[in-house]
Amino acid sequence: MDQSAIDKLANEAFVHVVDLPPPEREAYLTDRCTPAVRERVRSLLARHEAHADWLTTRPLDLPPAALLADTAAVIGDEPSLVGTTLDHFTITRRIGEGGMSVVYLAEDTKLERPVALKILRQGFGFSEVAIARFRREAMTVAQLHHPAIVPVYDVGHTQGVHYLVMEFIDGPTLAGVIDACRRDTPHHAQEREWQRTQASLIAEIADALEHAHRAEVIHRDIKPNNIMIDPSGTARLTDFGIARNRRFDRMTRTGQLAGTVAYMSPEQARGLRREIDHRTDVYSLGATLYELLTLRCPFEGDSVEDVREQVVHKPPRPLSQVNPAIPRDLQTICLKALDKDPDHRYQTASQVASDLRSWLDDRPILARPPGVARRVRQWTRDHRGPVAVASILFLLALVAALAIGLQTLARAGLTPVAFGTTLPDAMLWVQPLDAVRGTPTGPPIVRAVGPRTRVRLDAGLYLFRAEAGRQRLEAIRYVPTAEDRFDFREEIDRRDEPFVVALDRGPHAVDRTRMVQIAGGVFTTSSHPFATEPITIRMPPFWIDKTEVTNGAYKAFVDATDHPLPYHWRNEEPGLVYDPALAERPVVGVTLDDAAAYAAWAGKRLPTEWEWEYAMRQPGDRLYPWSTPPDWVVAPPPPAPRRGGAQIEWSNLLAAYAAATVDAGDDRGVATPLGILHANTNVSEITASVETEGALVSVVRGGSFRGVPAETPLTRRHTFRWGTSSVHRGFRCVATFR
Q: Could you give phi then psi for residue 734, rounded to 5 degrees?
A: -125, 170
Between 59 and 186, name the residue whose CB sits nearer to other proteins: 59
Q: Write out the binding residues for other proteins, residues 629-658 only, by CB under 8 A.
A: 640, 646-648, 650
Q: What number of other Cβ atoms are within 10 A of residue 182's Cβ?
A: 11
List residues bridging with 729 in a β-sheet.
Answer: 684
Residue 518 backbone phi and psi in degrees, to 5? -110, 125
Q: Which of 140, 238, 260, 618 binds other proteins (CB under 8 A)?
A: 260
Alpha-carbon distance 522 to 540, whole Å? 9
For the bound state, the minimum distance from the C-beta of residue 652 to other proteins, rounded and expressed in Å, comes to 10
Say which residues have a Cβ less than 8 Å from residue 623's Cβ, sequence separation at least 6.
617, 713, 714, 715
What DSSP state is assigned to residue 59?
P
> Interface with other proteins includes 288 (CB under 8 A)?
no
The C-alpha atoms of residue 487 and residue 485 are separated, in whole angstroms, by 6
583 touches other proteins (CB under 8 A): no
Contact between 729 and other proteins (CB under 8 A)? yes
Looking at residues 508 to 537 of the shown chain, list those that interact with other proteins (rule: CB under 8 A): 529-530, 532
- Give yes or no for residue 33 binding other proteins (CB under 8 A): no
Question: For 428-441, b where at least 16 C-beta lie within 10 A, e where not — what string?
Answer: bbbbbbebbbbbee
167 binds other proteins (CB under 8 A): no
Distance of CA 190 to the CA centre of its chain: 49
Binding flag, residue 99, other proteins (CB under 8 A): yes
Please select the residue that binds other proteins; options are 726, 731, 733, 734, rule is CB under 8 A: 726
Return the C-alpha torsion angle 85, 91, 96, 101, nearest 10: -10
Return the number of the residue (450 or 566) whose C-beta is nearest other proteins: 566
Binding mask 440-479 for other proteins (x = CB under 8 A): ----------------------------------------
Interactions with other proteins, residue window 613-632 (CB under 8 A): none
Strands (E), 78-180: 85-86, 89-97, 101-108, 113-120, 152-158, 161-167
**Interface with other proteins (CB under 8 A), residue from 5, 65, 395, 406:** 65
Straight-line distance from the first to the last Cα atom of the chain, in angstroms, rounded to the nearest whole number: 74
- Decide if residue 565 touches other proteins (CB under 8 A): no
One-letter amino acid identity for 564? P
14 near other proteins, rule: CB under 8 A: yes
Helix, strand or coil, per DSSP, at residue 463: strand
Is position 162 an interface residue for other proteins (rule: CB under 8 A)?
A: no
Segment lying near other proteins (by CB under 8 A), choices 82-90, 211-219, 248-256, 510-518: 248-256
**What is the smallest separation between the CB atom of 495 and other proteins, expressed in angstroms?**
16
The contact mask relative to other proteins for 681-720 (x = CB under 8 A, - = no) is ---x---------xx-x--x---x-x-----------x-x
**Contacts with 622 (C-beta within 8 Å, 6 or more apart), sequence order:** 672, 714
Element (H, E) at 690: strand 684-691
Query: H/E element holding 187?
Result: none
Question: By CB under 8 A, which span of 9-17, 284-292, 430-438, 612-620 interacts with other proteins?
Answer: 9-17
Residue closer to other proteins (CB basis): 239 or 474: 239
Tell the smallest beta-carbon distance from residue 231 to other proteins (Å).
24
Binding range to other proteins, per CB under 8 A, among 125-133, 312-320, 499-507, 627-635 = 125-133
Pick 252 or 687: Cβ nearer other proteins: 252
